[in-house]
Amino acid sequence: MARISSDVSLLIQSTPSLSSISFPLYRRRFYVLFVFGFLAFNQCLFWLTFSPISQSTQAYYHITESTINLLLNWGPIIFIPCLPLTYVLLNKPHGLRKCVIILAITDLLATILRIVPSMIVSPSNDNFTSVSLFFIHVGQILNAACGPLVMAPVSQLSCIWFGTNERTRATTFAIVAPSFGSTIGFLISPWIVNTPERVPQLLYIHLSLALVPCVLIMIYFPAQPPRAPSPAAQSLIDGSIHESNIDSLKTYMKNLRQCFTTPSFLLLCSVGGLLGGAFSAWTSLFANILALENFTERQSGWFGFGASLAAITGGLCVSTLADTRYFRRSFKSLIITMTIGFFIALVWFDLLIRTVFYDEPILKPTVTTVIVSVTLAGLFQGSAAPLVYEALAEIMFPLPESLSASVLVQFANIAVLILLLIPPSLYQWMNLLVLAAIGSCILMMGFVHIEYKRRNEDERKQ
């Protein structure tokens, strides 16, 4: 009897744990995340093509500032109706791969259309402006339709491919990739387009960038790992196998009702939407906001670069912290801390510019003070963003991660659209509205209760 017990003990010691047998991790997950991140980077870079070079674009195409604003506004306008279709596709068998292929091809087509006018019509031709506007608008609309394909899958991708204690970092990388696109757009676009005649050169560079991930995807892009990396991933993969189109729509509406009847979800989604939407609109209009303080378009580009780079850095650092043992269940306190920091940085920025309440800045604006204030704002906003995505997925588990992410980005795009519709003559209101929005986020976070349902289920099964 003792001999049998000894053999059993040795067998148990030499056998891998259940979690390592059932839920393996594959190195190809980093390739999948990189390709998706490349596409997300491109989509945001292309969306922001014309705003950082507003003056050169107006001169080259003979258009007004309101047209430039409309090219930017196509992003949230088209995003809103396309998002439900993305959710349905994403939760079909191999839905992630289908979304990525559509994203790559559509963005490539968008960049081709934008360069067509410069190839077929001379800028000196009387019809150049009308021809150009048609192709540019269609290109921007197609790129805008790719927005949901970039923003909705982030939590679902990290769940399908990454382990339980890697998900926050993977989600963060997918989120900051488009932010890095806007960062590069703010910095590189004014540098490339130093004269109006160089606008087509920037569009050709964008076409080249769109071609690279298309080639990578056609060579290799797996639909899902051979075996799920976590119990949550297995549940997600199994749930998509037998969904028909009708069932998907019915399930989507049912799940939406469940989301909108969960108070903590609504509050946290409002917080995340305001944080992301207000920051995106605010940074995209730096050139207009800071023109009153005699800062150049190129300087505004550097300010946007600093804010976006800080957002990326903050997101990567805090997500790494949130995946550690002591902070895995501290999402609420981390989000509140970062939101307060964002609010303080915005107060400082508002004191450096003119508003509707005072004709001259309270504090003297300099390049140093402006860039430090916007960099701190970006740092704190970027730190909070990935935590909101993951916290929403925890609250609504076992519903698909793409559902909570899609509702969140819908809220963010509505916020962006509202702010971008502010007329140029009322840009002084922008900063006060952003400040009020972030202040309300702090109050709402006090009533949010985050229950870690997904993590509890993973830990229980493992």
**Three-state DSSP class for 358?**
strand
Out of 16-30, 337-351, 371-385, least confident range: 16-30
Beta-carbon neighbour count of residue 357 at 10 Å?
9
The residue count of the chain comes to 462
What Rg value do the Cα atoms of the chain yield, rounded? 23
Q: Please indicate whether residue 381 or residue 245 has the higher confidence score (pLDDT).
A: 381
Instruction: Convert the pLDDT of each residue in 54-92 to its tens digit.
Output: 888 999 998 888 888 888 888 888 888 888 888 888 878
pLDDT for 138 equals 95
CA separation for the pair 245, 223 (Å, rounded)? 19
Q: What is the pTM of this model?
A: 0.77
pLDDT for 270 equals 93
Out of 18-27, 162-171, 268-277, least confident range: 18-27
pLDDT for 149 equals 92
CA neighbor of 431 nearest in space, from 305, 308, 339, 346: 346
DSSP-assigned letter for residue 146: T
CATH number of 28-461: 1.20.1250.20
Instruction: Convert the pLDDT of each residue in 296-331 to its tens digit.
Output: 777 887 888 888 889 889 988 988 888 888 888 889
Q: Please indicate whether residue 148 or residue 283 has the higher confidence score (pLDDT).
A: 148
> What does the mean pLDDT of the chain come to?
84
Mean pLDDT of 282-300: 78
Instruction: Convert the pLDDT of each residue in 107-131 to its tens digit.
Output: 999 999 999 998 888 888 888 888 9
pLDDT for 265 equals 93
pLDDT band at 383 (very low <50, low <70, confident <90, very high): very high
CA separation for the pair 216, 35 (Å, rounded)? 8
What percent of the chain is modeled with pLDDT above 90? 33
In the numeric block, which tokens belong to residue 214?
A: 């298309």
Angle between helices 54-61 and 199-219 (to 10 degrees): 110
Q: Which of the residue ranges 37-46, 84-93, 362-371, 445-454 has the most confident prediction, judged by mean pLDDT? A: 37-46
The answer to whether 83 and 412 have CB atoms below 8 angstroms apart is no
| Residue 188 C-beta-side C-alpha neighbours within 13 Å | 15
Name beta bridge partners: 355: 358
Which burial class, exposed, middle or buried, applies to 37 when counting CB atoms under 10 A from its CB (0-12, 13-18, 19+)?
Answer: buried
pLDDT band at 424 (very low <50, low <70, confident <90, very high): low
Beta-carbon neighbour count of residue 290 at 10 Å?
23
CA separation for the pair 296, 246 (Å, rounded)? 53
CA separation for the pair 177, 154 (Å, rounded)? 11
Q: Position of tokens 């909108």? A: 260
pLDDT band at 239 (very low <50, low <70, confident <90, very high): low
pLDDT for 8 equals 40
